[in-house]
Every structure is written in structure tokens, then in C-alpha cells.
Structure 1
Amino acid sequence: MKDNMITVQFLVILFLFINLLLIITFFQKECFYTATRYILFAVTLLSDSLVLFLSDVLAILNQFNILIHVWLCIIFCVVVIMYTTLTPVTLTAMTLERYVAVCMPLRHGELCSTRNTINCILIIHALSSVPSIFIFSSFFGSASLKLYTQYQLCSMQIFIIYLWQQHLRSAIYQLQFLIMCIIIVFCYVKIMKVAKAASGEDKQSSRKGLRTVALHGFQLLLCLIQLWCPFIESALFHIDFVVFHYVRYFNYIVFYLVPKCLSPLIYGLRDEIFFHALKSYLSFGLYKGNLN
């Protein structure tokens, strides 16, 4: 178990370091923080970094059986749930941006202005807060006041008092992700049609947009599977505690950390302009590649 925890700490520190480099690179050039796709990319980096840090703190507390106040655990979990949901919602918004760029290029500048992007970020946060509002509203209506002053291991299980609350949580997530999947499939089909009809540079741009949307779809699938993990772990907890620990470790690596490392890959390393800017920053300005 200690080896597993050391591996997790290494991966979390590595991903946080990579995200930090990409966030610093984002602020190096004006073209990044005035373009919708890069702004949304930065939002995913910040939210993923926050979730990684807070979830790692909770994992360490649980590993060493450190109890904390329930009210403090509520604050931790509200933030973690909200920003865990924020990543797939932002991915959907980034997919729509690619759809507009490829299928409606003449209106891209108008629809994806900086002002509209800020409004989009506010809408993303509002949509991402819906699951936590429903989950904790049901908890506040069911829990006794003395529970808030108790010390417990911090996990989502302490907020599920009745079985219907677990069903409600599952239904909200499934509905939200169904809507996002429909949007991504719609954008993929539309971009694919444009890619077939395009020629030359337009065809290359359309294919790149198609690959980006496909990667977003794969990332969203991992995020969806991640939502099923607590239900699997909850069942195993009552069957075999050792198997429960190994399955939870596997789920954390594959369905929690991997989706978060895909964001830097999709919009960090695959994006030519951003990649050249990153190389320039890491070489202290000595690299003079294509930064336009």
C-alpha cells in the first residue's frame, strides 16, 4: 500500500509540474489569453491542478486514517466535485469551439470573442455546480446538526445517508454526460462532413479538428467511467477490503490521472504554436521556432 501511495505522489507531482509549465507558457503570449480555445485550455489546466492537489490531500488523510471535521470535509468535497465536473463540461465547450472554427469559420471571430469566452466560463462553472448543489442539498436536508461537528474520514460515502441519494447522484451525472456525449458526437459528425468536402489546407485543418474532437470524446469517456468507480468501490468495500484498495488504486490511476494528462497532450504538445512557445520558454528564449 505504501508503494502505491509513493507512485501516486510521484504521478501527481509530475502532472502538477507539467500543468504549471503550461500555465506559465499560456501567460507568455497575448495570442493565448485572447483566443477562446487557449483560454478554455487554461481553465482545464487550473481546474485539473486544483482537483489533483485536493484529492491528493484527501487520499493522504485517508491513507493515514486522519480524521477531520465533517464541515471541513464538506468544503473539500464541494470544490472537488465541482471542479471534477468542470473538466468534461469545458471539454464540451472546447469541442463546440472547434465545431465553430471548422464548420462556421466566418462567424468564429464573432462567436468566440474574448467577452463571449468569459461568459462561457461563467456558464461552465454554473453547470458544473449543479451536481454538488443537488448532492449536498439532499445531505443537508437529511443529516442531523451534530453530524457537522463530528470527526470522520473524509470521503463522499459519509454524505450518502440513504440509498435514494446515491441514485440521485448517479442520475444527475448520467444525464449531464449524456447531453455532453450527444454534443460531441454531433460536432464530430459535422466536422467529418466538412473534412470530406474540404480540399488542401482546409482539409488538413478539418482533419486536425476531427482528431481533436475524437480525443475529447475519449477523454470524456474516461471521465464518465470515473463516475461509475465509486459505485464499484462501494460494493467491493463490503465484500473484500484488500481488493477494494487495489481496485481504488487502479481506478485512480487509469480513470482519474490519465484523463487529466490528456489535456496537456491535446492542447499543449499537439498544438504547434503552443508547443513552440513552450520550447522557447524552457530554453529561456534561445529557441526561435514558429511562434506566430
Structure 2
Amino acid sequence: MADNNSLVGGEVLRLQIKVKLSIVQILVIIFLSINFFLIMTFFRKECFYTTTRYILFAVTLLSDSLMLVMSDFLVIVNYLEFTMQVWICIIIFVVGIVYNIVTPVTLTAMTLERYVAICMPLRHAELCSTRSTMYCILIIHGLSSVPCIVVLSTFFASASFSLYKQYSSCSVEILILHRWQGHVRSAVHQFYFLIMVIIILFSYVKIMKVAKAASGEDKKSSWKGLRTVILHGFQLLLCLIQLWSPFIESTLLQFDFMLFINVRYSKYVLFNLTPRCLSPLIYGLRDETFFHALKNYAFFGLYKRNV
């Protein structure tokens, strides 16, 4: 009787996982389609790919789309219980770790761009030229690579050569061979997010002072910039929750496996998938120029407006 109950329970669990996996695939397709639509809109007008804030916006779209594809690939691979050599997993995680940081660092750069535009308007054209933006993108990727270099350095220092040829399921935990490595990774990530939070708060305070002192159109522009900074702060909060989630999951795994599965699935949908689409979409819709270009593109050019 107990064996029958365990078999029924196993079938129910597999059915639940299949349903959740199907929902994830539907969401990934929808979100990738929206991001692709936003990216195509970006490339349709010269004013977008020659303006700093739009270029950085496109960087977040491309970074988030890449992360959506990679995370979904790992979900499917792990569901199928497909194993691969550790060195292949390391290559996948190198890209994943870097671009997981690229989005919040880019959001911070976008916040600084708004700070320069509102608090230093006379120097905005000089500091935020297209050439400067290209250098900024290189700096963003360089800064985003540091946590990856730290994680890989601790892994290479502890792993034996035979480990790289072993077959394993692709999970980021394979890079953590000792508990102290997890602490180092956590410390580096939290240091990064602390610096980004300080920059966003600094920009918020400075823009708020300008908004209170401004009048007319300047005041309207300043308050709009302030709301943009708040949106970036919210996006950064979601990234921070995603960073803390492994600690919550590891604690739950020790007590209740089903609760761990449900929390991990909910976390993936709420903090991995949804923010990587909805936040960029909201940002795009809030910008009047981008919104009208998006609307014109959506209606196949039937919607006409001078942008």
C-alpha cells in the first residue's frame, strides 16, 4: 500500500513539474517576443541608437534576453536530467554570471545619465556623447566581469583537473566546492549592490533638490527624471532579491523538499522572468518618443506622428 502511495505521489510530482515547465516556456516565449519587439523598435530610428539613454536601454534588453534564453536552457536541461562535462557548464556559467550583473550595472549607468542630464545639463552633450557611451558599455562589461573572475579564481584554485571531465547536471553550485567560496561570492555581489544603491540614492537626492528648485518645463522634466530613478531603484531591488534567494532555498531544502521546489519555481517566475521583460517594457512605455515609435511599429506604420 505504501509503495502504491509513493508511486502515485511520484506521478503527481512529475505532472506538477511538467505543468510548471510548460508555463515557463509560454512565459519565456512571450517575454522574448516583447523584448525582440522593443529591440527592433530601437534599431528603426537613428535618434535611438545615437542617444545615450536609449543605447543603454538596448543593452539591458539584449542582456535580459540572453539571460532568458540561457536560464530557460538550463531549466530544460535539468528537467530532462541531461548531464554534461563540467568544463562545458563552466563556459555557460561564465556568460551567465557576467550578464546577470550587466543589467543592474547598466541601470546604475542609466541613473547617472539622468543625473547628468538634470543636474549638469550644460555638460550632458559632452559627457553623454555616442563615443562616451561606447566606452561606458566597455566599462560596464569590465565591471560585470569582476565577480565572475573572483568566482572562477576560487574554483580553479580548489578544483582538480579530473573534475573538469566529469559529467554533472549544470547547476551553479558546481562552482562552489567549499562553503567559504559561497561566502566570497556573496560578499562580492553584495558589495556591488551596495555601491549601486548608494549611487542611485545619491542621484535621487540630487535630482530631488533640482526638481524642488526648478520651475515650468524644467520642473516637469526633473520630476520625470526622479520617477525614472525610482524605477531603476525598484529594478535593482528585484535583482537584489534574486541574489539573496539561494540562501533562502538552501535553508528550505533542509526542511521540506516540496516547499523548496515550489519556492524555487515561484522565485524563477517572479524575480528571473517577469522583471527581465516588464521593467524594460514599462521604461519603454514611459518615454514619449520611444512609446510613439513603438506604437507606430506595432500598427505597421498606420499610426503616424512626428517624433
Q: TM-score category by the smaller chain?
A: over 0.9
Q: Give the letter aligned to residue 196 of structure 1.
A: K
Query: Secondary structure at 2:274's aligned position in 1?
Result: helix
Q: Give the letter aligned to residue 117 of structure 1.
A: T
Q: Which residue of 2 aligns with 1:25?
A: 41
Any idea what the Cα deviations from partners look like across 1:95-129, whole Å, max 9, x if unmatched?
Answer: 00000111111111000000100000000000001
Q: Are 2:140 and 1:106 aligned?
A: no
Q: Which residue of 1 aligns with 2:139?
A: 123
Please, what is the CA RMSD of the aligned residues? 1.0
Q: CA deviation at 1:238?
A: 3.1
**Are 1:67 and 1:152, in contact at CA under 8 Å, matched by a contact in 2?**
yes
Q: CA deviation at 1:268?
A: 1.1
Aligned with residue 56 of structure 2, among 29, 40, 43:
40
Q: Which residue of 1 aligns with 2:166?
A: 150
Q: Give the letter aligned to residue 217 of structure 2.
A: E
State the TM-score, normalizing by the size of structure 1. Answer: 0.97
Q: CA deviation at 1:290?
A: 3.6
Unaligned runs of 5+ in 1: none
Query: Secondary structure at 1:27's aligned position in 2?
Result: helix
Residue-pair matches, total: 291
Give the whole-Å Cα distance in 2 for the aligned partners of 1:217 and 1:110.
26
Q: Give the letter aligned to residue 151 of structure 2.
A: I
**Are 1:160 and 1:166, in contact at CA under 8 Å, matched by a contact in 2?**
yes
Any idea what the Cα deviations from partners look like across 1:78-97, whole Å, max 9, x if unmatched?
Answer: 11110010000000000000
Give the whole-Å Cα distance in 1 for the aligned partners of 2:278 and 2:213.
29
Q: Give the letter aligned to residue 191 of structure 1.
A: I
State the TM-score, normalizing by the size of structure 2. Answer: 0.93
Q: Which residue of 2 aligns with 1:176?
A: 192
Q: CA deviation at 1:235?
A: 2.4
Q: Map of 1:178-217 to 2, 5 A cutoff?
A: 178-217=194-233
Q: Which residue of 1 aligns with 2:30?
A: 14
Q: CA deviation at 1:156?
A: 0.9
Give the whole-Å Cα distance in 2 for the aligned partners of 1:88 and 1:145.
34
**Are 1:192 and 1:206, in contact at CA under 8 Å, matched by a contact in 2?**
yes
Give the whole-Å Cα distance in 2 for the aligned partners of 1:184 and 1:160.
31
**Are 1:25 and 1:277, in contact at CA under 8 Å, matched by a contact in 2?**
yes
Q: CA deviation at 1:282?
A: 1.7
Q: CA deviation at 1:267?
A: 2.8
Give the greater-gyration-radius structure (CA): 2
Q: CA deviation at 1:43?
A: 0.3
Q: Are 2:158 and 1:137 aligned?
A: no
Q: CA deviation at 1:240?
A: 2.0
Give the whole-Å Cα distance in 1 for the aligned partners of 2:106 and 2:193.
12
Q: Give the letter aligned to residue 83 of structure 1.
A: Y
Query: Secondary structure at 1:167's aligned position in 2?
Result: helix
Structure 1 runs of 4+ with >4 Å offset? none
Give the whole-Å Cα distance in 1 for the aligned partners of 2:269 and 2:216.
41
Query: Secondary structure at 1:129's aligned position in 2?
Result: helix
Identity %: 68
Q: Which residue of 2 aligns with 1:219?
A: 235
Give the whole-Å Cα distance in 1 for the aligned partners of 2:116 and 2:168.
48
Give the whole-Å Cα distance in 2 for the aligned partners of 1:93 and 1:262.
20
**Are 1:219 and 1:262, in contact at CA under 8 Å, matched by a contact in 2?**
no
Q: Give the letter aligned to residue 66 of structure 2.
A: L
Give the whole-Å Cα distance in 1 for the aligned partners of 2:201 and 2:274.
22
Q: Are 2:243 and 1:241 aligned?
A: no
